Homo-oligomer: A and B are copies of this chain.
Amino acid sequence: MLKVAVIGASGYTGAELIRLLVGHPEIDICCVTSRQHEGLPISQVFPSLAGFCGRVCESLDVASIATRAEVVFTALPHKSAMAVIPDFLAAGCKVVDLSADYRLKDQAVYEQWYQPHTSPELLPEAVYGLPELFRDEIGTARLVANPGCYPTSVALGLAPLLRNDLIDPTTLIIDSKSGTSGAGRGARQGSLYCEVNEGFKAYAVAAHRHTPEIEQTLSHLAGCPVQVNFTPHLLPVSRGILSTMYASLRSQQSTADLLELYRQTYVDEAFLRVMPGGELPNIAFVRGTNFCDIGLVSDERTGRVIVVSALDNLVKGAAGQAIQNMNLLCGFNEQLGLGIVPLFP
């Protein structure tokens, strides 16, 4: 059994890691940490976990944890993550980091959107943990930067088009909508039930920190610098991201041909489901799972393709993808512990 630690277990991402890890046949959760709930059983922090995990929340003592854990999941805010990850690595742990701290390859870009980086020397080594695009690098990594939720939905939705140079990347518009768990479990007025319920809004327009991460991956796929408009919105649901993406096709392509390209591209991908023609994804159909569902329409009138992708922001957008990365890191079957059927309704 592989010993793993969940650092930052009292947030929604931490709870989701535990939910998935307790169902993983090769894993032993040896440690969960929470500054806020130190000393409290995690099953009291999340009564949903009663009967599944007997761990008590610890403080974050890297030296102690590193003697027990082989793989460490850091589910901390950016900045807090890079404050401990170098020590975990130095102590011999492998790290899957769910924060943004090691996702951007260019230190200057990171510092422009976040703050000064305290361990830039690790950036070249860190592997961007999107298995469908970077599977080989992940297998041999020490530090995996688990992608953001929005960037995952965008990269998987656009990869076949960009790799095959079918769209003009200067025309890309990305309109994304996320469930509220993406805002975390911190007590903020903007996340209150009455503020979110029966509401809908755009936020951080032209200013969201996932923009450079999206552009880094799309530029890689396109082979040239790509700039996009990315607009996130807050959905009154607990889980789910749906991204609607628009681009001008370089030449006319039918919906059927494009869907066939997607099916071929992703034929071996267990977690990508390309929708039948005429159907489009719904976040309700991926709930609780590591799936990313993708559909598209080619609009002959305007010459644009509209791609829609849907995933669960806490699973394929965070904890599920982190476990998929861990499976690759540790030589397990990539799907181990992730064969969950979506919960509908």
Contact = CB atoms under 8 A, between A and B. Distances in A.
A189 to B, nearest CB: 5
Nearest to A284: B199
A306 B200 contact: no
A15 interface: yes
Nearest to A190: B187
A244 B273 contact: no
A180 interface: yes
Given A185-B194, A194-B180, A288-B288, A345 B229 contact: no
Interface centre among A188, A195, A283 (most CB of B within 10 A): A195
B196 A302 contact: no
Contacts of A180: 192-194, 197
A304 interface: yes
Copies of this chain per assembly: 4
B244 A202 contact: yes
Interface residues of A, number: 84
A273 B199 contact: no
Interface string A259-287: 00000000000000101100111111111
A325 B20 CA distance: 26
A88 interface: no
A201 B233 CA distance: 14
Interface centre among A48, A239, A240, A286 (most CB of B within 10 A): A48
Given A19-B341, A185-B189, A47 B202 contact: no
B193 A191 contact: yes
Contact of A229 (B46, B51, B306): B306
A280 B206 contact: no
B288 A343 contact: yes
B341 A52 contact: yes
Contacts of A192: 180, 185, 187, 191-193
Contacts of A292: none
A195 B184 CA distance: 11
A237 interface: yes
A283 B193 contact: no
A285 B345 contact: no
A197 B12 CA distance: 14
B194 A181 contact: yes
A238 interface: yes
A327 interface: no
Interface string A40-77: 00001011111110000000000000000000000000
Contacts of A282: 47, 199-201
A199 B177 CA distance: 11
Interface centre among A171, A187, A238, A286 (most CB of B within 10 A): A238
A233 B339 CA distance: 29
Interface centre among A188, A231, A293, A343 (most CB of B within 10 A): A343
A89 interface: no
List the 7 shortest-distance A-B pairs measured between CB atoms, nearest first.
A199-B284, A194-B345, A206-B299, A48-B342, A201-B282, A48-B344, A175-B175
Interface of A: 12, 15, 19-20, 22-23, 44, 46-52, 171, 173, 175, 177, 180-181, 185-189, 191-203, 205-207, 227-229, 231, 233, 235-240, 242, 244, 246, 273, 275-276, 279-288, 293, 297, 299, 301-302, 304, 306, 308, 310, 339-345
